Structure 1
């Protein structure tokens, strides 16, 4: 077991590069690309992430992929409760020990769930915020899954591949506006909150990371289901260069029916998917179930 480094009493100690490598060596872990493991080794970066998350002291934070616990300790300092979801059993086995060593007074405020975040639908506590360093290859599906299944999550901050961060926060009309942008807007407002360099990770990725802050909005007022709206979004972006009349033909059953739905929704059939906001997609989904004239 490693002991926390000596630091001024006013500043809670966080894991540094040497601590992270020592912890990994103790349990025989080498970061893997398969699980997207890039451990943060810089305490100042952790403090920056936690500050950007704007957590209240009484909040319960959901962390996905805590790894060796570098961000976990920062979250424990900022919130009342932290529940961490970890898919790797070796890392999950070590994490409670690390919390006991570095934050002995916070053991009862920490909960660990050994599971795939894409399959989690229940937690031991109800989260109010999501703060996580997400694996690049599953970041968007994880965010959408958690927002769908945990409506108690009101806000949060996720660190993802910088390009993905731009897509999540993109607005209609942008070249990078696409499926992640529109589906994320179903749940609320996303905004780019910063960029993280490569050298604060072990191993260092080849690309920068981006911070995305989000605030959940009220559920859209619509007669269509989320699944129906998301089906329209998927179809609209399946072939970006086509007009909506053409790209929605399979979804609607024919080009003529697609045009009827678009006109009924107040959308130009010649438009393309990247110019529509979430409200327009909702209207299209609703129009699919209206009777033809």
Structure 2
């Protein structure tokens, strides 16, 4: 059999198949795990298309669930590494793929792990792209954890709650611009990449969903090591903890005093009377890089 193959080989899951699989293994979607299973083939094909992944990609998929998106990805990419926290779902996924796309089953690896804790050492192949329907209650921390721990990830296309998608892609000056916006932009370019209707899920959620794409900087404009990231994120957290206050006041605790906060802001070329919502990621990086005053003697 040729190594190349047309799209559409995998038999995707429809509403009946999703319910049947869930019933077979007594899988009940839980709010705790943020489980809503996609049952619409057009939707998962759209997600794969918008992600831009190709035959050369190794995709990290978080929360594959019953395998709707997994099957669509396997049609297109070199390998899918699916990270699943639910033992029942993790155990069933290879069988589902073998039944519905036997010629593609060799491209799947399943890792039973919490996506908030998974590390490169646990993953059998180095992922180049993240494509996932993220559990909505932990979407942002999972996204940031994966970009921090997997430097090989060049892109991400994730489905999240529409409000979260808006916040991630928000620009400085927007009322919804905040901590998720800055931290996501620390890693790369972030943009809204579409909307997903409620009717394509089972059970149907009460909230709208949206797609967000992140393209990691090819050449990082600032250091991305863990220590530098920790310093930058600490400033971001402090600036938005009291977002109605000026930066001079909001960063007083972080800097040690309002006057020291003002000194560092001025040194970074930032107006001390401004608020955090007007600063882009680059400004926060500059601010975090300002050294505290030297202590003599």
Global fold match (TM > 0.5) = yes
Equivalents in 1 of 2:281, 2:127: separation in Å?
26
8 Å contact kept, 2:55–2:76: yes
Matched, 1:134 2:129: no
8 Å contact kept, 2:9–2:101: no
8 Å contact kept, 1:252–1:288: no
Q: Show the counterpart of 1:54.
A: 52
Equivalents in 2 of 1:93, 1:10: separation in Å?
24
| Cα displacement string for residues 152-211 of structure 1 (whole angstroms, at most 9, x for unaligned residues) | 000120000000000000110011000000000110011001110101000000011000
| Structure 2 counterparts to residues 148-163 of structure 1, below 5 A | 148-163=148-163
- Select which of 9, 14, 17 maps to 2:15: 17
8 Å contact kept, 2:265–2:271: yes
Q: Does the C-alpha gap of structure 1 residues 30 and 124 become closer, same or farther in structure 2, counting only changes over 3 Å?
A: same
Structure 1 runs of 4+ aligned residues shifted over 4 Å read none
SS of residue in 1 equivalent to 2:232: helix
Displacement, 1:13?
2.0
- Select which of 263, 270, 279 maps to 1:260: 263
Equivalents in 2 of 1:77, 1:40: separation in Å?
17
Equivalents in 2 of 1:91, 1:222: separation in Å?
38
- Which sections of structure 2, spanning at least 5 residues, go unmatched? 1-6
Q: Show the counterpart of 1:231.
A: 234
8 Å contact kept, 2:8–2:75: no
Displacement, 1:291?
4.4
- Which sections of structure 1, spanning at least 5 residues, go unmatched? 1-8
Displacement, 1:220?
3.4
Equivalents in 2 of 1:110, 1:188: separation in Å?
28
RMSD: 1.8
Q: Show the counterpart of 1:5.
A: none
Displacement, 1:222?
4.7
Q: Show the counterpart of 1:198.
A: 198
Q: Show the counterpart of 2:92.
A: 94
SS of residue in 2 equivalent to 1:189: strand
TM-score, normalization by structure 1: 0.94
Q: Show the counterpart of 2:4.
A: none
